[in-house]
Structures are given as C-alpha cells and as structure tokens.
A = this chain, B = another copy of it.
Amino acid sequence: MSENGAGPLAGLLVVDMASMMAAPGVAMMLADFGATVLKVERPDGGDVSRSAPMRAGSTSVWWRLLGRNKEAVTLNLKDKRAQEILRRILSDADVLIENNRPGKLEAMGLAPAALHADNPGLIILRVTGWGQTGPYADRATFGTQIEAMSGFAYANGHPDGPPTLPSFALADGCTGYLGAFAVMAALWAREHDPEHRGQVIDLSIFEALFGMLGPQASAFDKLDLVYERQGSRAPLSAPRNVYRARDGRYVAVSTSGGAHIAHRTFAAMGRGDLIAHPHFATLEARLAHIDEVDATMQEWIGRHDADDIVRALSEAGASVAPIYSIADVFRDPHFQARELIVAAPSADIGPVKMQNVVPKLSRTPGAVRWSGRPLGADNEHWLIERLGLSREEVDALRRDGAI
C-alpha cells in the first residue's frame, strides 16, 4: 500500500461485470494497485469462476485468486430496478469491464453511447476472443481456440509429437496484463483531454497473445520462416534445451545474450576446447550442429547431479536453472525473500496462499488485502450506504431475486 495505504490507483472506481478469467484478470490488476473494483454478478451462482473445478471449501481457487481485492455485489439485470442501480453506479464510475459477445451489452440497454450520455468520461473495456468486428466476432471463444490459432500450439512440443496446448490459461493471463495497461492509457488520455472524454477499448484475447509472440510475423514475411515444433530448442540460442541430470532431475540451459555465454558454459564444463571447435565456436555453427551440441551437453550433465550443475554453471556466469514444480517454487529461498507468495484472508477457509502483487512500486506499492469474497458480500454496503436505498427496498430486491 502507498504512504496512505491505498495504492497508486486509489480513488478510481472500476465495475467488473465480466466472468471467468481474462477480463476479470484485468480488474484484479487494477484492484491490486488500489482501485475500488466492484464485481457485479448474477444472484444465481455468480461468476463461473466460483463454481469452476479445484474447489477449496465451497469455492474454486480460481475465484479466490481472481476475486481478490474486489467488492462483490449481485444484480439480476433482467430486473429493471437492478438495471437502474447499475446505471447509477456506472454514472459515477471510471471504468466498466465486460466480456459479453458483441452486441449483447447493447441488447441489455447498456450500449456505450447510452453509458457515455450519462458519463462521458467512462472507459469501457470490451474483452472478447476475436474482437468486436470481423467474421469470427460472434463465435463462442475460449482460450484454447486462441492458443490453437495464434501459432502457439503449432510450435509448442516436440518434432515427433502433436501440437501442444499450454497447461494453464496462457491467453487469458496475458490479456489481464495488456487490458490493465490499455485501461490506464485510456485514463491517461482522459486526464489530458480538455473535455475529459472516455472511450471504448476493443480487446481481443487472440490479439493479446499474438502480440507477445515476438517477431514470428516479420520472420515469416521477410525470411519465409515458419516456427516448427522443436521441443525445448530455440532459434536464438544453442545450446538451449532441457537435460536430465544424474539424479533424475531436469535442468534447463540457455546461452542467448552473446557468444561469451556459450563459451563460459563450455569452460565451466571443463570443455574449454570447444570454444575454438568449428562446430561449437559460433552460434551459427552450433545451430548447424545442434544434435552434436545437445549430445555433448547431455553427456556432461548426465554425469552430475542437478544442484551441482546449477551451482557450477551459475558461478561461471552461465545461464542454467532447475526445472521447478510449484512445490519447488514454494520452497525456494529467493522467492521467500521476495515474498512471491502471499497469504490472503478468506471468510471461510482461513488464509489462501497465492502469487503476490507484481511488480513492486517503491512509493505506492499494491497489496493483496483479501481473497475472493462470498457472493453478494458487499450488497448492503453498496446499496444502503453508498446508494442510499432503504433496508426495505433492499429486502424487496432480495425477495424478488433482483439482487
């Protein structure tokens, strides 16, 4: 938290009416850094992430994470009173985050033009798989489709195996980061606009993933290069692979960053002779003789234990790491020193450990204050204290299923 405990985005009001991962991930980033984020959910079960697999207590760990630092209210937007409440909230909000299919917001009476008539400064972040326009705009989308069509899966895996999807929600995860940046850019533009105007952000999960895949498009355009599956090898570095140590553990070695890195690695292996070897001297030579290079690495690594390999090559300034599972991450002293894992309070199952807020801001850091709250936990705070409804009105809304 900042000097006053509030984080750099204190004072911003963000309404998160999205579900599951990508768009709620944007809202989580903003909440981590101090924005007030109001999660608006359907009364009948709420966000899909609550009932997703991997339940801890009654609620999935997905919601424990994605709901952190958010306030939770329920609104059934089929009820006119609930619609009116949402419109009142949005008239004072800075940001609306939604991930309906294109056109659905409009069908709900919440078209951007209508929202901007009430509140010209509103930033409206619309997150969809394929974007608001184009032939696939109306398709159902999940991260898997995006990982399949972005080129990621095509190039992920081994040459003798099938294309391989990621083991985690890669496309959704990077969309969280990109969307948080885009919201801040639009807020910056609003602050520097004499008319203080907001705008609409059309954020495609596909485009977020594709945007961080590096120069593959340029390499295809100029060099006719198509990234093929090559296991853990890479076009930019050789050796670069995963090898099996004597004790059965795996270690990764990479030598990008200049010729001296590979040379240091060979020297640390007691193979200084390779530095001048025609198959090993330059990156181009090593890439051309990659099977020989990998066999040489595996031969040495297979004769040593993983910890010794990491220590010896690290001390030589080479670039090496053990392959860690999440259990290894929890045990690692560096990550403990960095407070990578933080325990977030919950209402029902005690503290829930999760990744901490990143990165670290020196003057106004973010903070994890609580994990995802129960459905409707903040209904009374918002409806009575913030919006001035009476207890009788709130009781009626609840009785009618409007909240």
Spot the interface stretch: A69-77, A146-154, A266-274. A146-154
Spot the interface stretch: A78-86, A331-339, A383-391. A331-339
Spot the interface stretch: A36-44, A349-357, A394-402. A349-357
* Docked complex Cα distance between A130 and B338 (Å): 9
Given contacts A181-B177, A188-B187, A210-B329, contact A148 B340 (CB under 8 A): no
Whether the pair B169, A214 counts as a contact (CB closer than 8 A) is yes
* Docked complex Cα distance between A29 and B212 (Å): 11
Complex contacts, A300 vs chain B, CB 8 Å: none
Least CB distance, A75 to chain B, in whole angstroms:
20
Spot the interface stretch: A102-110, A249-257, A373-381. A249-257
Whether the pair B156, A156 counts as a contact (CB closer than 8 A) is yes
Least CB distance, A2 to chain B, in whole angstroms:
7
* Docked complex Cα distance between A234 and B176 (Å): 20
Whether the pair B179, A217 counts as a contact (CB closer than 8 A) is no
Task: Say yes or no for A302: interface residue by CB 8 A criterion.
Answer: no
Greatest chain B CB density within 10 A among A158, A198, A334 is at A334
Least CB distance, A255 to chain B, in whole angstroms:
8
Complex contacts, A329 vs chain B, CB 8 Å: 149-151, 210, 217
Task: Say yes or no for A111: interface residue by CB 8 A criterion.
Answer: no
What total of chain A residues lie within 8 Å of the partner, measured CB to CB? 161
Least CB distance, A152 to chain B, in whole angstroms:
8
* Docked complex Cα distance between A364 and B197 (Å): 10
Whether the pair B178, A61 counts as a contact (CB closer than 8 A) is no
Least CB distance, A98 to chain B, in whole angstroms:
14
Q: Which of A193-238 touch B at CB < 8 Å?
A: 197-204, 207-208, 210-223, 225-227, 229-232, 234-237
Task: Say yes or no for A277: interface residue by CB 8 A criterion.
Answer: no
Whether the pair A11, B362 counts as a contact (CB closer than 8 A) is no
Given contacts A164-B156, A202-B360, A242-B165, contact A144 B254 (CB under 8 A): yes
Task: Say yes or no for A163: interface residue by CB 8 A criterion.
Answer: yes
Whether the pair B168, A214 counts as a contact (CB closer than 8 A) is yes
Given contacts A176-B212, A221-B352, contact A338 B207 (CB under 8 A): yes
Whether the pair B361, A185 counts as a contact (CB closer than 8 A) is yes
* Docked complex Cα distance between A264 and B140 (Å): 12
Task: Say yes or no for A345: interface residue by CB 8 A criterion.
Answer: no
Task: Say yes or no for A56: interface residue by CB 8 A criterion.
Answer: yes
Task: Say yes or no for A318: interface residue by CB 8 A criterion.
Answer: yes
* Docked complex Cα distance between A156 and B225 (Å): 24
Task: Say yes or no for A278: interface residue by CB 8 A criterion.
Answer: no
Least CB distance, A249 to chain B, in whole angstroms:
10
Partner of A360, one of B64, B152, B192, B201: B201
* Docked complex Cα distance between A192 and B361 (Å): 16
* Docked complex Cα distance between A180 and B317 (Å): 29
Whether the pair A222, B181 counts as a contact (CB closer than 8 A) is no
Whether the pair B162, A250 counts as a contact (CB closer than 8 A) is yes
Task: Say yes or no for A174: interface residue by CB 8 A criterion.
Answer: yes
* Docked complex Cα distance between A356 and B62 (Å): 31
Task: Say yes or no for A155: interface residue by CB 8 A criterion.
Answer: yes
